[in-house]
A and B are shown apart, each in its own frame.
Chain A
Amino acid sequence: MSAKQEERSIVVPGDLIYEGRIRTGDNTYRDRENVYATKVGLVNYSKDRVSVIALEGGYVPLVGDLVVGTVTDLELGQWLVDIDGPTDAILTVSEATDKPFRTSLDMTQILDVGDLVVAKIFDLDRNRTPLLSILGRELGRVNEGFVIKITPSKIPRLIGKKGSMINMILKETRCNVTIGQNGRILINGRSRGDEELVERVIRMVEDEAHTSGLTNRIQEYLKSIKEEKR
């Protein structure tokens, strides 16, 4: 019954992180009485469980996630959307428009192949294929802005505790940012310079996600740039 690593130390797959009975959290697995890490990340020991906060990782779709995807194919009554997940996601006509589906409906009027779309995962079907919906505020086809990609495992860090990190970035840069849980981020600012600044800051967060005091450091950085402009 003992912790085998220091709190917040970096572990790699196969590292022994706990000996004894305990609940296993994210990115860990149990082999007999031992708990091992399955990903590169930081160990997190809490009262009743042990987990690893992943530093690298692909996107695993979950119900309720907001994602930014690209329409890759158009089928009868549905679109296929690439959301950088293990499989493509499906968006049906009934989740894209209030109108009933008829064969006379021109689906390309709503979404066409190559379109960028902000959507919500409202369900996973029995094959665990994500089902998308664009009925809702701020959802649907994207007409302006540009998209950057970061490692999906670092999205929680970019949002911060109760949105502390992203709210600070939004306040300081006055840009409109849509964070897809799949690692695609849509930035829409007043000028190209603003958008580039946001991208630079997001890259900083991505690179230094595993360090502490990051929100304050980013805020200072943004303020120093503001002062330079004046």
Chain B
Amino acid sequence: MSKQRKKKSAKTWERIDGRKQDELRPIHIESGVLPNADGSAYIEMGRNKIMAGVYGPREMHPKRLSKPNLGVLRCRYHMAPFSVDPRRSPAPSRRDTEISMVMRDSLEPALFLERYPRSVIDVFVEIIQADGGTRCASINAAAVALADAGIPMKDLVSACAAGKYEGKLILDLGDYEDKKGESDMPVAYMPKFEQVTLLQMEGIMSREETEECIKMAVEGCKKIYEIQKEALKKKYAVVREEAGQGAAEAPEFEPKPEPEPELEPEEAEEPTMEDEPKEDEEQ
């Protein structure tokens, strides 16, 4: 393996999987995959396979952990025993706890937690298959799941790592590059506000390289942001097409005067509750 790589590097330098220096791994995101959760998402980022589920806002247990003026975001990052080789213990490790905290801190700025005092929003992330950069992929999936749960957000959060491998700066490190490389820097970013919500770094880089790395990671985040948006919209596009075929007179989605979503339920509720069923019984 290493011999092969050396031969290659003698000619032209190439990444282990043949990507360009600033190329992301192929990403696929799906939203609304878990019917029992309030919101959910599934992400495949390279060979990472990650499922995220969101519950809430709901009553917090134990109650003493809730805050009187703010909602609480609770994240749980967990790697399945079979997600890595060799098998790992399913018990939460020190690393799991840290990544849970890191995820919470990077997602919190996007939420309006002050709207849900004494409540909790739970985010569960399960790593089904790991291939480097799971914390970034987890943040991407969790952001989509939060939006899918209908939790008010300022912006989606996208995350992507950049780092240094064999002296070259590269984007979106895979497992091998992560382990063998000189440096690794995960970045989470809110593109609409141009705010970085997570910045970690491991290894050694010069100041210039660090700056270049952040720029590269932010560019990667922007690309992922578009994929996240697409994933959220895709769920509705499919239904819209089906419905369009069913109703011949309304193939395009246009605002029609009659059947519109009406946001004043109080008014509309009275007849359904009391008048209508009564009439039926009389008949």
Binding site for B on A (CB under 8 A): 7-8, 10, 12-16, 26-27, 29, 31, 36, 38-40, 42, 51, 53-58, 64-66, 82, 84, 86-88, 127-128, 137-138, 151, 153, 155-157, 159-167, 170-171, 174, 176-179, 181, 207-217
Residue numbers in B under 8 Å from A153 (CB-CB): 150
- For A84, the chain B residues whose CB sits under 8 A away are 58
Q: Is B39 an interface residue (CB 8 A)?
A: yes
Instruction: Give min CB distance, A186 to chain B, whole Å.
Output: 11
Of the candidates B110, B228, B261, the one whose C-beta lies within 8 Å of that of A156 is B261
Residues of B within 8 A of A128 (CB): 117
Please name the residue on chain B nearest to A16 by beta carbon. B192
Contacts of A161 in B (CB 8 A): 258-260, 262, 268
Take A156-B261, A170-B277, A174-B280 as given contacts and tell me if A86 and B271 are in contact as well, using a CB distance cutoff of 8 Å: no
B147 interface hit (Cβ, 8 Å): yes
A-B pairs with lowest CB-CB distance, top 3:
A57-B150, A56-B150, A14-B155
Complex contacts, A162 vs chain B, CB 8 Å: 262, 267-268, 271
- Contacts A39-B153, A58-B149 aside, 13 further interface pairs with beta carbons under 8 A come to A10-B233, A12-B228, A13-B152, A14-B190, A39-B152, A53-B263, A87-B118, A137-B274, A157-B262, A159-B262, A181-B269, A210-B240, A214-B259
Query: How far does the alpha carbon of A136 sit from the alpha carbon of B156 in the complex, in Å?
Result: 44
- Select the residue from A51, A88, A156 with max chain B CB neighbours within 10 A: A156
| Contact present for B147 and A40 (CB under 8 Å) | yes
Contacts of A155 in B (CB 8 A): 265
* Pairwise interchain contact B272-A177, C-beta atoms closer than 8 A: yes
- Within the complex, the shortest CB–CB distance from B2 to chain A, in Å, comes to 44
- Interface residues on chain B, number (Cβ under 8 Å): 67
Asked if A86 contacts B155 (CB within 8 A), the reply is: no
| Chain B contacts to A: CB under 8 angstroms | 38-39, 56-59, 68, 71, 110, 112, 116-119, 147-156, 190-193, 228-229, 232-233, 236-237, 239-240, 242-244, 246-247, 249-250, 253-256, 258-274, 276-277, 280
Among A57, A181, A215, residue most surrounded by chain B Cβ atoms (within 10 Å): A57
Q: How distant is the Cα of A205 from the Cα of B98 in the complex, in angstroms?
A: 42
Measured between alpha carbons, how far is A171 from B279 in the docked complex, in Å? Answer: 10
Q: In whole angstroms, what is the CA distance A151 to B71 when docked?
A: 21
29 contacts between A and B (CB under 8 A): A8-B254, A10-B236, A10-B237, A14-B192, A26-B263, A29-B154, A36-B155, A39-B150, A39-B152, A39-B153, A40-B147, A40-B148, A56-B149, A56-B150, A58-B150, A127-B68, A138-B273, A159-B269, A159-B272, A160-B268, A161-B258, A164-B258, A170-B272, A179-B272, A208-B242, A210-B240, A211-B239, A212-B253, A212-B259
